[in-house]
Structure 1
Amino acid sequence: MEKTYSVVFYSKKIVGPVKELKDLLKSKVHKNWYSSCNSAAHITICEFTIDEFQLDSIKQKLFKISDTFTPFQVSLNHFDSFPNAGAFYIGVNEDSKNNLVPIIKKIHETLKSLKLKKSDNPHMSIGRRLTPENLKIASELFTTIHLQFDCNEIVLREFDPKVKQFFVMDSFPFGSNPDPEFVQGSLF
């Protein structure tokens, strides 16, 4: 059976503070609902749909690649939007972006055999598919932010079609082990 999964950067430390922002926006917008209002805080790397039997192979690839990454601090320090997509988000600072983007690219490369829905610009969505009016409300409501978390793993989430939300199913810790280099050996 086919299921949808996503690979994300995730930290329990920021789920609460970001949920407060989402709840505040939800209380201010028309109909008290918008896309992403109930989604736990995360930075998307990619999303894909596969048959369940392929999952173990994907997990092995994610475990192997995560072992090569070194933990670092991510700072979210400004609000911004993608007006054409109706997305309002918290952006990362330049140092965080410089650390996140190479990991994102390596994961995309590792999973290139899958049909990926990729995210190349690291950000944490507050709302998606917002109307221009609701984007304006968000930008007036939220002007300054400073959140930080230790980025020391990537997380695999599974989409639950009944609840229409992704749920964490597995995490892959960063091992600080650089890619092993092949060394030509000699028997004598």
Structure 2
Amino acid sequence: MKYSLVIHPSVDFIDYVKDLKKQLEEKIGWYASVNSLAHISVCEFESDEINVEKIKEKLAHLAGFEKAQYIYLSDFNNYRQHTFYIQPSLYSKAYLKDIFRRVIHQLKLYIPELNEKGADPHVTIARKLDEDKMIIAKKLFTHIDKSFFCDGFSLRKFNADKGQYEIIQTFPFENKNREEGQLSLF
């Protein structure tokens, strides 16, 4: 089975991105990822049901120590392979990369061949755009100043019938303190 670990933004931000995607679709027609809900990919992997249960336990443990905070989205950008996306501010990107690094390091114990998608955190608007459609996207969307509260992970499983990933479990950040090597005198 195929799985994807993501950070889902707030409902308001998801709706905002849906609106952007709809505006772009009205200008250029259907495109790859037009129906995908806004998210920031951490990683993708394949696993059986038994191993996924262990992964869920590890994710619940890891999420317990993560600190929730706002993610600020500050610019539109694109990759050469014709993906148009929203990028986080430098500070938010550093926060996300730190989380992704910790998670991926721990999950590699269960998934040695882990596919790291979160190397450059972003929210995809459109994929597989040709040059003309990319020009339209860049002209249509020039400024963004949005944020959402990042307070957990979502584990998604690929539904082949729908051709989309569906959330199977969320892991809220609990802001617990790590007591790394501290000794108590009392």
Structure-1-length-normalised TM-score: 0.90
Q: Please name the residue that 1:17 is paired with.
A: 16
What's the offset of the Cα at 1:37? Answer: 0.7
Q: Which amino acid aligns with 2:133?
A: N
Q: Please name the residue that 2:61 is paired with.
A: 64
Task: Provide the rounded CA distance (Å) in 2 between the counterparts of 1:134 and 1:179.
Answer: 48
Q: Which amino acid aligns with 2:20?
A: L
Q: Deviations over 1:94-145 (max 9, x none)?
A: 1111211100101110111312221211110001111111111110110011
SS of aligned partner of 1:162? coil
Unaligned residue ranges in structure 2 (runs of 5+): none
Alignment of 1:1-188 (within 5 A): 3-11=1-9, 12-29=11-28, 32-83=29-80, 85-113=81-109, 114=111, 115-118=113-116, 119-182=118-181
Q: Deviations over 1:50-97 (max 9, x none)?
A: 1122111010010011111111000111100002x2110001011111
Q: Which runs of 4+ in 1 moved over 3 A?
A: 182-185
What's the offset of the Cα at 1:13? Answer: 2.8
**Length, aligned pairs only:** 180
Task: Provide the rounded CA distance (Å) in 2 between the counterparts of 1:63 and 1:182.
Answer: 22
Task: Provide the rounded CA distance (Å) in 2 between the counterparts of 1:104 and 1:77.
Answer: 20
Q: Which amino acid aligns with 2:34?
A: C
What's the offset of the Cα at 1:181? Answer: 2.7
What's the offset of the Cα at 1:183? Answer: 5.9
What's the offset of the Cα at 1:178? Answer: 3.0
Unaligned residue ranges in structure 1 (runs of 5+): none
Percentage of matched positions with identical amino acids: 33
Q: Which amino acid aligns with 2:101?
A: K
Task: Provide the rounded CA distance (Å) in 1 between the counterparts of 2:103 and 2:12.
Answer: 23
Q: Deviations over 1:26-66 (max 9, x none)?
A: 1211xx21111100000010000111221110100100111
Task: Provide the rounded CA distance (Å) in 2 between the counterparts of 1:148 and 1:159.
Answer: 27
SS of aligned partner of 2:65? coil
Task: Provide the rounded CA distance (Å) in 1 between the counterparts of 2:12 and 2:52.
Answer: 27
Task: Provide the rounded CA distance (Å) in 2 between the counterparts of 1:177 and 1:91.
Answer: 28
